[in-house]
Amino acid sequence: MFDPIHMNLSSAHGESNGVLTDSVVEEVDIKTGLVMWEWHALGHIALSESNNPAPKASYPWDYVHINSISPGGEGGSSQTSAAGANQPGDVLLSSRNTWTLYNVNMHTGGILWRLGGSHSSFKLGGGTRFYWQHDSEWQPGGLISVFDNGSDPPKEKQSRGLLLDPNTSSHTVTLAKQFTNPSKTLLASSQGNLLNLSPSENTSGNWLMGYGGLPNFTEYDPSGHVLLDGTLGKNVQSFRTYLDPWSGQAPGVPSVAVSGSSLAVSWNGATNVASWQVLGGASATTLAPVAKAAKAGFQTTIAVPAGAAYVAVQALDPSGAVLATSHTVKA
């Protein structure tokens, strides 16, 4: 949460009677509402670390802007235990306005190390520097994923998804993976995320990147090739983008059209259709099953059985149950 604090900001070239927005992180017991742990950026992060200039007015200065929280945990690879990057009782915080990730000890409140920004505890390897970032998360093996906005104002040509490999023994961080859209130059001014889609505890699967202030989202395979590239609609924003199973209930009944010796059937929005069953007959009142075909994409084309003067099509679910029947049309 963000807490406005009245204070002298002249040391940061702001107002002597200014207002600073303190970023506050809390652990809350959901059942009781009891605050179990609380941490304030003010007192731990110096004003000089901010890359967001203090305003020349009484408008609150958002000098840190914590935008993601990722608790440390057990497990990980030998890199984790050797480097000590991800330990129980640590929490990884992303500060957009200092361009820094902070690993904080939840027992003492002290900052164990900084990654990025002007006071990084690590020597940054090629491609690991980020700006105005969002959504830093611990990943298996002590790796860290982060959405590098690169803006606002622009510091890079396009936003990126990064998988970083920090080593606290050598005080270095290297780039394990990078994801950028190869066909569009997308620069998100705010928000965004990089989601690990691996079904098990690893980082070798697919990744989903949401562009926050932009309506775009992209799914990548482990090599960075695009599998899915879409938008949410004009001027739509999303703080985070997720991939989840979805079931669509289509309105009305399936649509069917006959052209020559084939028919085309579709049912916009229906996700539970597994196959289509064609009903045919000499009249509209004497229809019986005459053909069946597996659903093939948005629209499925099926040959009209010989002798069928009229046809209709039934949508079948995976068990073969009839979901709906189209209107009857002349073949």
What is the identity of the amino acid at 278? V
227-284: pLDDT as tens digits: 999 999 999 999 999 988 889 989 999 999 999 899 999 999 899 999 999 999 999 9
CA-to-CA dists, residue 52 to 2, 106, 174, angstroms: 16, 27, 26
Average confidence (pLDDT) over 179-193: 96
Indicate the pLDDT class of residue 134, thresholds 50, 70 and 90.
Answer: very high
* Partners of 288 in the β-ladder: 280
Q: Is the pLDDT of residue 77 over 60?
A: no
Q: What is the DSSP letter of 82?
A: H
Q: What pLDDT sits at residue 73? A: 53
The answer to whether 45 and 52 have CB atoms below 8 angstroms apart is: no
Q: DSSP assignment, residue 61? A: B
- List CB contacts of 204: < 8 A, sequence separation 6 or more: 198, 222
> Can you list the positions of beta strands (E) in 17-167?
18-28, 35-40, 66-71, 90-95, 100-105, 111-116, 123-124, 134-139, 143-148, 160-167
Percent of the chain with pLDDT strictly greater than 90? 88
CATH superfamily assigned to domain 255-330: Immunoglobulins (2.60.40.10)
Q: Please determine, for residue 26, whether its predicted confidence score (pLDDT) is greater than 80.
A: yes
Q: pLDDT for 45-62, tens place per residue?
A: 999 999 999 998 889 999
Taking the C-alpha atoms of residue 279 and residue 64, their distance in angstroms, rounded to an integer, is: 65
Residue of 59, 49, 56, 42 whose CA lies nearest to 13 = 56
Tens of pLDDT along 269-322?
899 999 999 999 999 999 999 999 999 989 999 999 888 999 999 999 999 999
Least confident among 29-33, 75-79, 157-161, 323-327? 75-79
CA distance 164 to 123: 12
Band the pLDDT of 86: cuts 50, 70, 90.
low
Give me the amino acid identity at 73.
G
The per-residue pLDDT for 281 is: 95
Average pLDDT of every residue of the chain: 93
DSSP 95-114: EGGGTEEEEEETTT--EEEE
Q: What is the pLDDT of residue 85?
A: 58
How much is the average pLDDT of 174-183?
96
Parse the chain into domains and list their residue ranges: 65-231, 255-330
Rounded percentage of the chain residues whose pLDDT exceeds 70: 95
Sign of CA dihedral 100, 103, 106, 112: negative
pLDDT band (50, 70, 90) for residue 75 = very low
Alpha helices for the chain (secondary structure H): 78-83
Rounded CA gap, 199 and 185, in Å?
A: 30
